[in-house]
Chain A
Amino acid sequence: MNKKRTSRSVRFMIPLVLAILLLTGVTSCRMLVEEFRAFGIGDRFVESHDASRMAIQAIEADTLPEDDEYFAGRAAAARILDMYDVYDDEEANRYINILGQTLALASTRPVIYAGYRFLILDTDEINGLATPGGHIFVTRGLLRLAENEHEVAAILAHEISHIENRHGAKAIMETKGRNLALRAEALNYRLAAVGAESTILGRGVAVLEERVQSVTNALLGDGYSVEAEKEADLGAIQILMTLGYDPRALTTVLNRLKDSEKLAGRVKEGFHKTHPKPERRIREIERRLENYPGITQVDDAAANRRYQAALGGI
């Protein structure tokens, strides 16, 4: 009996340890340095121990430094604002900023490089977009799916959770092979900037451009993965519950989204194109909220007053 238990736990531990080794990059350091060299990292950096360490750190970190995320996000935001008009309503934009910034405080990344900022886009299209720099865009079409503050909070919390989970930064880091070359370029650029050499501006711009492309592809083209959307839904639930909002508001909004899809005859644009089917997301959220006691902390009368004042006419 005892023996059997031991062997089972060892069998369980071995893959776990291997997975951890793989995740922390311990097994692949040397290989990565070689690959880096192939992509043109200067030999003097590769050969020095500390530079190798830096190279490994840069590539091992599955994400970008905060300021890199911010500048890639800013440029992606500029591209988005080039395509859409801003909904010119000071009161409405102010409201979603207060609500959104409050919600962000309940996330696992309450503070990011330049903070979370929200803006309404003037279009009937149903879409929500979050850049890695903390710029969150929601369209009038999306906000019309909400009928109270809980539901607006659910929409914003989902977008915040994309940022808390660094989905934008991951999109940048995920374009595998080409990505390695890009990371080498980025590292080369950084090393040049830290060292005495003059800044290689063109190289920096090239890297930034590729990054912006990755982000906008994910936001406006293919969307994030089904897994990332699920992660953002679950993150949103957590944020809502922490502040005392009703997490079931997220399924309410998704149900209305489902109906709007039916009406639109499943036109694959905007949100419908970049997000997985609402049915699937609703099922997942409901499963997660099976034991939710249904107690909210928000004074609905007060929340409804301010919601109506700001977004009643959206």
Chain B
Amino acid sequence: MRKLIAVLTVFLVLSPIFAFDVGDEPAVSVREGELRSAPGFLARVTIRVDYGESVKILEIRGDWLRVRTADSGDEGWLHSTVVAGKEELRLERADGTTASGVTSREIALAGRGFNEQVEAQYKNDKGLDFTLVDEMEEYGRPVEELAAFFADAGMTVEDGGTE
């Protein structure tokens, strides 16, 4: 009995946590996933991968995944929080298959519940101005700048190296 409870507990505790394996093909869950030359946030960004695009996991090192993109075949490192199972992204149809004859990107766009179209309508209904929000979102700082900021105050970060 005790053993059963223990096994059950371990199973239930572990099951909701989504862990990836080599060979898995999750999809990018952020607007633009940044593929890097090395497993670290301060590494050079080699290519950007759109939301919903499939990647194949080739190697796992800590929180970092070396992947190959389905569309372009590019390889590089993605942080594991940047991808999710396709089911999680609602990229699958209700019957568990992905719709045939359409690209993963089309499905991704359709599956996005709240998109620019909804926002445009909301903006219109409310008479709200998003200009300042758009300007605010332009404040993304490039990796080189963050790295320089670190170095300036003698800070180091435990990362997989910069290249």
A residues near B (Cβ < 8 Å) are: 6, 9-10, 13-14, 16-17, 20-21, 24, 26, 45, 48, 50-51, 54, 57, 61, 65-68, 70-72, 74-75, 77-79, 81-82, 86, 93-94, 97-99, 101-102, 105-106, 109-115, 117-119, 135, 149, 186, 189-191, 193-195, 199, 201-202, 204-205, 207-209, 212, 243-244, 297-299, 302-303, 306
Contacts and interface: CB of A to CB of B under 8 A. Distances in A.
Nearest to A25: B16
A97 B141 CA distance: 7
A24 B115 contact: no
Contacts, number: 191
B9 to A, nearest CB: 6
B139 A97 contact: yes
Nearest to A245: B155
Nearest to B123: A78
Interface in B100-122: 107, 110-115, 117-119, 121-122
A82 B133 CA distance: 10
Given A17-B8, A298-B153, A65 B90 contact: yes
A54 B140 CA distance: 35
B82 A111 contact: yes
B77 interface: no
Contacts of B16: 24
B12 to A, nearest CB: 5
Contact of A299 (B88, B126, B153): B153
Contact of B114 (A50, A71, A98, A306): A71
A297 B154 contact: yes
B19 interface: no
A302 B89 contact: no
13 contacts: A14-B5, A45-B94, A78-B128, A79-B128, A101-B146, A105-B157, A111-B34, A113-B30, A117-B136, A119-B139, A135-B136, A201-B117, A299-B154
